[in-house]
Amino acid sequence: MAFEVILNRPGVYRILLEESQEGTYVNVFDSPESKGPYLDYLQDDLEMAKRACREMYGVAEREWRQVPDEHWH
């Protein structure tokens, strides 16, 4: 299961959260044409990843939508 938000801001077009065995990856895409994230980092779990996105990018809980996994890692 993955979650995404489209922010459409300079340098942060989309954020994709992907859960894995090692934690939750936060993948940041800079444009709609991006073939992969230009920035990614690992958080311990989904809750921490969403909290980090709220603090860093101002993403509210209600903005996330569930999407299929893209498997960047």
Domain ranges in the chain? 2-67
Q: What average pLDDT score do residues 12-40 get?
A: 95
Q: The tokens of 51 are what?
A: 């909290």
Distance CA 36, CA 23 (A): 19
Asked whether the predicted pLDDT for residue 1 surpasses 70, the reply is yes
- Percent pLDDT > 90 in the chain is 88
Compute the average pLDDT of residues 50-71.
Answer: 95
What is the per-residue pLDDT for 50?
Answer: 98
Q: List, in order, residues 6 or more apart from 20 with CB less than 8 Å away.
A: 73
Per-residue confidence (pLDDT) for residue 55, from 0 to 100 = 98
Q: How much is the pLDDT for 70? A: 83
The model scores a pTM over 0.85: yes
Three-class HEC string of 16-55: EEEEECCEEEEEEECCCCCCCCCEEEEECCHHHHHHHHHH
